[in-house]
Amino acid sequence: MSKPSQRRAVTNFRNRLAEKGLVRFEVTGRDADRDLVRTLARRLAEGGPGSDRLRAVVNQAVAGEPPRKGGILRALMASPLIGSELDLTRPREEGRKVDL
């Protein structure tokens, strides 16, 4: 007995995906994220250096690894205000007296 044509088409489609090293899977998420998830999956499936970089960034973001030390200092040192001789000191005030 032969398989119905729809089932045969699905089987052939999944076999072609497997030959490319891809699998089909289902995820559950918010409707607003549908396009984002599809675009992300498409870019990751393309392969190449761009998808490798994207995969590394997503893995780092999902893993929750702490950022490297010195990031704020590096950003401040790259500021265009370096060497502009701005006086950013504030006068010290004691504050006001409050009757309780």
Query: What is the number of domains present in the chain?
Result: 1
Residue 96 domain flag: no
Residue 43 domain flag: yes
Given a contact cutoff of 8 angstroms between Cβ atoms, the answer to whether 26 and 18 are in contact is: no
Domain ranges, residue 32:
28-66
Residue 19 domain flag: no
60-77 burial code (b ≥16 CB/10 A, e <16): eeeeeeeeeeeeeeeeee
Residue 32 domain flag: yes
Give pLDDT, residue 19: 92
Give pLDDT, residue 65: 66
Give the dihedral of Cα atoms 5, 7, 12, 17; nearest 10 deg: 150
pLDDT by 10s per residue, the chain, length 100:
567 899 999 999 999 989 988 888 899 999 999 999 999 999 999 888 889 999 988 888 888 767 677 778 888 778 887 778 888 888 888 888 888 8
Give pLDDT, residue 16: 93
Distance (Å, rounded) from C-alpha 8 to C-alpha 14? 10
